[in-house]
Protein backbone atom coordinates (compact mmCIF):
# COMPACT_ATOMS: atom_id res chain seq x y z
CA UNK A 1 0.00 0.00 0.00
CA UNK A 2 1.25 3.47 -0.83
CA UNK A 3 1.35 6.04 1.96
CA UNK A 4 0.69 9.69 1.20
CA UNK A 5 2.21 12.00 3.81
CA UNK A 6 0.57 15.40 4.04
CA UNK A 7 2.78 16.98 6.72
CA UNK A 8 4.15 19.46 4.18
CA UNK A 9 0.87 19.98 2.33
CA UNK A 10 -0.86 23.33 2.11
CA UNK A 11 -2.80 24.32 5.23
CA UNK A 12 -6.07 24.11 3.28
CA UNK A 13 -5.37 20.46 2.45
CA UNK A 14 -4.60 19.63 6.06
CA UNK A 15 -7.73 21.43 7.25
CA UNK A 16 -9.87 19.58 4.71
CA UNK A 17 -8.49 16.17 5.70
CA UNK A 18 -8.90 16.89 9.40
CA UNK A 19 -12.49 17.98 8.82
CA UNK A 20 -13.50 14.64 7.29
CA UNK A 21 -15.71 12.63 9.59
CA UNK A 22 -14.65 9.09 8.80
CA UNK A 23 -16.99 6.47 10.17
CA UNK A 24 -16.53 2.70 10.03
CA UNK A 25 -17.63 2.67 6.36
CA UNK A 26 -15.02 5.25 5.40
CA UNK A 27 -15.29 8.24 3.06
CA UNK A 28 -15.40 8.15 -0.73
CA UNK A 29 -13.65 11.05 -2.48
CA UNK A 30 -15.24 11.99 -5.80
CA UNK A 31 -14.13 14.49 -8.43
CA UNK A 32 -16.03 15.30 -11.58
CA UNK A 33 -18.45 12.44 -10.96
CA UNK A 34 -15.64 9.89 -10.74
CA UNK A 35 -14.59 8.08 -7.60
CA UNK A 36 -10.96 8.93 -6.83
CA UNK A 37 -10.46 6.98 -3.65
CA UNK A 38 -12.04 5.66 -0.50
CA UNK A 39 -10.56 6.47 2.88
CA UNK A 40 -11.19 3.93 5.62
CA UNK A 41 -9.96 4.03 9.19
CA UNK A 42 -6.90 1.87 9.84
CA UNK A 43 -7.53 -1.60 11.20
CA UNK A 44 -11.26 -1.38 10.44
CA UNK A 45 -11.32 -4.11 7.81
CA UNK A 46 -11.51 -7.78 8.62
CA UNK A 47 -9.57 -10.29 6.54
CA UNK A 48 -12.76 -11.17 4.63
CA UNK A 49 -13.41 -7.49 3.85
CA UNK A 50 -9.82 -7.02 2.71
CA UNK A 51 -10.14 -9.95 0.31
CA UNK A 52 -13.44 -8.58 -1.02
CA UNK A 53 -11.98 -5.10 -1.54
CA UNK A 54 -8.95 -6.52 -3.31
CA UNK A 55 -11.24 -8.54 -5.59
CA UNK A 56 -13.20 -5.37 -6.40
CA UNK A 57 -9.97 -3.53 -7.09
CA UNK A 58 -8.72 -6.27 -9.41
CA UNK A 59 -12.01 -6.15 -11.34
CA UNK A 60 -11.80 -2.36 -11.70
CA UNK A 61 -8.21 -2.61 -12.91
CA UNK A 62 -9.12 -5.29 -15.45
CA UNK A 63 -11.98 -3.16 -16.79
CA UNK A 64 -9.74 -0.12 -16.95
CA UNK A 65 -7.00 -2.00 -18.80
CA UNK A 66 -9.51 -3.48 -21.24
CA UNK A 67 -10.93 -0.01 -21.92
CA UNK A 68 -7.44 1.45 -22.38
CA UNK A 69 -6.54 -1.23 -24.92
CA UNK A 70 -9.46 -0.13 -27.11
CA UNK A 71 -8.40 3.52 -27.08
CA UNK A 72 -5.78 4.95 -29.38
CA UNK A 73 -2.53 6.03 -27.67
CA UNK A 74 -2.98 9.47 -29.27
CA UNK A 75 -6.34 9.92 -27.56
CA UNK A 76 -4.92 8.83 -24.21
CA UNK A 77 -2.02 11.24 -24.59
CA UNK A 78 -4.43 14.05 -25.55
CA UNK A 79 -6.58 13.35 -22.49
CA UNK A 80 -3.53 13.37 -20.21
CA UNK A 81 -2.31 16.66 -21.69
CA UNK A 82 -5.78 18.18 -21.25
CA UNK A 83 -5.93 17.04 -17.64
CA UNK A 84 -2.47 18.45 -16.93
CA UNK A 85 -3.40 21.77 -18.52
CA UNK A 86 -6.54 21.91 -16.39
CA UNK A 87 -4.64 21.21 -13.18
CA UNK A 88 -1.81 23.59 -13.98
CA UNK A 89 -4.29 26.29 -14.99
CA UNK A 90 -5.90 26.18 -11.55
CA UNK A 91 -2.65 26.82 -9.69
- Computed over its alpha carbons, how large is the radius of gyration of the chain? 17
Same domain, 35 and 14: yes
Structurally, the chain folds into a number of domains equal to 2
Mean pLDDT on 40-46: 76
* Dist CA 35 CA 29 (whole Å): 6
Same domain, 12 and 38: yes
Using a pLDDT cut of 70, give the percent of the chain over it.
97
Same domain, 67 and 39: no
The 3 state secondary structure assigned to the chain is CCCCCCCCCCHHHHHHHHHCCCCCCCEEEEECCEEEEEECCCCCCCHHHHHHHHHHHHHHHHHHHHHHHHCCHHHHHHHHHHHHHHHHHCC
Mean pLDDT on 32-52: 82
> How much is the pTM?
0.41
Amino acid sequence: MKRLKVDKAAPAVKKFLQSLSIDANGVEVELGGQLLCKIVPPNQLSDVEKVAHLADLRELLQRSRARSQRISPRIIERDIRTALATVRGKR
